[in-house]
Amino acid sequence: MPFRLYISFALYLIALVHSLILPTNSPVCALPHAKFFPYWGYRIQREYSLKSLRGPLSHYSVFIHCRQSSLDYEHLVRLGREEDIPWNTTICFSKHQTKKSKSPVNKKLRQLWNTNDSVVNEKQTFSPLYRVYKKRFKKFDYLLTKMALSRFLRHTSRRQDEKVDGIRHLPSKEVLSVFLEDLECYKLVRRKKYVTRELSLYTPYRFIGGLFKCPLSQETKTNMLKSASKLDPISPYQIPCGSNTAVPIAPLISDDISQQLVNHNIFSSKITDFRINIIQRIPYLFTPSFLDPRFHSFGVFKGRYSNWFDELDINEDYDLSSLDGSVVSKANTLFANYIAKHFRLENTNPLLVWERNTSNTHDDDNEQYLNRKSDLLNQVLSQLVEWPWDVAKQHLTNIHQILDLDS
Bridge partners of residue 71, in order along the sequence: 66
- Helix, strand, or coil (residue 334): helix
Per-residue pLDDT of the chain (407 residues; tens, 9 = 90+): 566 566 656 655 665 565 555 554 677 887 766 666 778 889 999 888 877 666 677 888 889 888 877 888 888 888 777 777 888 888 877 765 554 433 333 444 344 434 334 433 444 444 455 555 455 545 554 444 444 433 333 333 333 333 333 333 344 555 566 666 777 889 999 998 888 887 787 888 888 999 999 887 777 777 766 665 544 544 455 677 878 888 899 899 988 888 877 776 655 444 444 566 778 888 899 998 766 666 655 455 555 556 788 889 888 888 877 666 665 566 666 666 666 665 555 544 444 444 444 333 334 444 554 555 555 555 555 555 555 556 555 555 555 554 444 45
In a 13 Å sphere around the CA of 322, the CA atoms on its Cβ side amount to: 3
Q: What's the one-letter identity of residue 351?
A: L
The alpha carbon of residue 235 and the mean position of all alpha carbons in its chain are separated, in whole angstroms, by 14
Are the C-beta atoms of residues 193 and 323 closer than 8 Å to each other? yes
d(CA 111, CA 109): 5
Closest CA to 241 of 316, 182, 137: 316
pTM above 0.75, yes or no: no
Contact between residue 253 and residue 207 where contact means Cβ atoms under 8 Å apart: yes
Write down the pLDDT at residue 89.
83
Cα separation, 343 vs 399, whole angstroms: 15
171: cis peptide before it, omega within 30°? no
Closest CA to 324 of 189, 208, 196, 188: 196
What pLDDT is stored for residue 238 in this prediction? 60
> What is the per-residue burial (b if ≥16 Cβ within 10 Å, else e) of 296-305?
beeeebeeee
Q: What is the largest CA-CA distance in the chain?
A: 76
Cβ–Cβ < 8 Å for 255, 285: yes
